[in-house]
Amino acid sequence: MAKIVQLISKNCGKIKPDSVTDYVNAGGYAGLKKAMEIGPAQIVEEVKKSKLMGRGGAGYPTGKKWEQGYVRKTVFEYVVCNGDEGEPGTYKDKLILSQNPLLLMEGMTIAAYIFGIKEGYIYVRGEYYGLKEMLNNAIKNAVEANYLGKNIMGTDFSFNIHVVWGAGAYVCGENTALLESIEGRSGRPRQKPPYLSQEGLYKKPTIFQNVETYSNIPYIVEHGGDEYASYGTECSGGTKLVCLSGNVINKGVYEVPFGTPIRELVYSLGGGVSNGRKLKFVQLGGSSGACFTEEKLDTPMCYKALKDNELKLGSGALLVVDDSNCVIDFLKTITGFFIHESCGKCTPCREGNTRIYEILDRFSKGRGKPEDIDDLYRLSNLMDITSFCGLGQAATTALKDCLKYMREEFDEHIEGKCRAGVCNLT
């Protein structure tokens, strides 16, 4: 039985999201208080011990990143939070933003406190614009209660948070594109290096994390990194918000400890495949994530175990796909998404996705040829190696996996057969 461990989601839905009183009564700001007692060096130490890995997709150890900045005495100017959440099937940052934003803000405030940073930004995708008034109220209330703004809790530490809205662009989740967008420009990725810790927002050193990552900080500081880590596995500390979607009975966001097998997420939390159908495959980490079938379902959700199986956790989205779906049709949807979202800056991604779509479209019309499969491999490898940013590099992850695990369906389409009966093969 998969268990739910609520370290960061326990107050979601139980308190008025913009009420500081409710938040404090539910134990809020204990982390910030503790942070001020133990001081910057010890906070960084606790975050390191927590084995917290960035929850936005890349999974880089947060403590390591902060320690490097701390040891090098980097003069950070900004704390930025990535609330772009564009990966299809991901809606866990929305849970925090809409139901407990003060937790996120407390986490950002602790990060700011470590480095003496005065300004923070939360970049939220435009699709969540309905949260605007509530988020502004949450900030206003926190300022009035002296948990934000000038001389926080009577100390000489001052910190402000601004909310900036996106306007529909998946690529803005890429960290440099997001900064371009905050600065009021198109969200096209910048060259890296320089890294954000050297040149971030307005070319100043910037601390940059995902919503869920910051939201873990108050717990870690209050209870200690060791305790947090103990919920997870040897290499991946704590819990993860997982989002179940697709052909599964209980869709939703669940907070589970690292180490939980993917199978349990699908069958015990998710209640299994809906409508009595059979599982065809799952996709982990959103549309840029890996697709895999039954045989890898017992892999535990842990960064190392997943890596050993050539999988990545990504954003924590888990899409269940049943046998009424056709692989080719599914991949057309995925590729269509990336055509729409490519920023057009580099040729491999701008052109590659379109060419792949054309080939898949031929398959879906019964006009695919054996040599098209070679082209699919060639194009996806090329995009992987030569695309300028992570979008183009990961756009064909699903395609490569489907070719690997469900190749026979491609061949069947060449022979004029769609086993799911989805494609109109003429």
Partner 1 sequence: MNKTALLSQLDEIIEKYGGLKDNLLQILLDLQKVSGHNYLPEECLEEISSQLNLPLSKVYEVATFYSMFNHEPKGKYIIEICNSAPCHVEGADDLTQLFEDVLGIKVGEITTDGIFSLQHSSCFGACDISPAIKIGTEVYGNLTKEKIEEIIKEYRGE
Ligand X SMILES: Cc1cc2nc3c(=O)[nH]c(=O)nc-3n(C[C@H](O)[C@H](O)[C@H](O)COP(=O)(O)O)c2cc1C
Name the residue number minimizing CB distance to ligand FES.
88
Closer by beta carbon to partner 1, 222 or else 341: 341
Which listed option, ligand FES, partner 1, ligand X, none, makes contact with residue 239 (CB within 5 to 8 Å by class)?
Answer: none
Q: By the 8 A CB rule, do 318 and 274 touch?
A: no
Residue 197's binding partner out of ligand FES, ligand X, partner 1, none, with CB under 5 to 8 Å set by partner kind: none
Q: CA-CA distance, 244 to 400, in Å (whole number)?
A: 23
- The least CB distance from residue 171 to ligand FES, in Å, is 17
Which part of the chain contacts ligand X (CB under 6 A), choosing from 54-62, 104-112, 134-142, 373-381? 54-62
Cβ 212 to ligand FES shortest distance, Å? 17
CA Rg value for the chain: 22
Residues of span 295-334 touching partner 1 by CB under 8 A = 317, 319, 321-322, 325, 330, 333-334
Could you say which of 17, 28, 63, 86 contacts ligand X (CB under 6 A)? 86
User: What's the closest the beta carbon of residue 87 comes to partner 1, in angstroms?
Assistant: 8
Which of 17, 28, 56, 88: binder of ligand FES (CB under 6 A)? 88
Q: How far is the CB of 167 from ligand X (least distance, A)?
A: 14
- Closest to ligand FES by CB, 55 vs 125, is 125
Which option in ligand SF4, ligand X, ligand FES, none does residue 88 bind, with CB closer than 5 to 8 A by kind? ligand FES
Q: Which of residues 160-219 bind ligand X (CB under 6 A)?
A: 171, 173-175, 208-210, 213
Considering CB under 6 A, how many residues would be counted as binding ligand X?
A: 22
Distances (CA, A) of 258 to 3, 233, 317: 11, 6, 14
Q: Among 127, 227, 323, 351, indicate the residue that binds partner 1 (CB under 8 A).
A: 127
Binding mask 183-202 for partner 1 (x = CB under 8 A): xxxxx---------------
Does position 314 interact with ligand FES (CB under 6 A)? The reply is no
In the complex with ligand SF4, the residue whose CB is nearer, 139 or 177, is: 177
Instruction: Name the residues that contact ligand X, by CB under 6 A.
Output: 54-58, 60, 82, 84-87, 171, 173-175, 208-210, 213, 389-391
Judged by the rule CB under 8 A, the positions of this chain that interact with partner 1 are: 85-91, 94, 125-130, 164-170, 181-187, 243-247, 251-253, 283, 287, 317, 319, 321-322, 325, 330, 333-334, 336-337, 340-341, 343
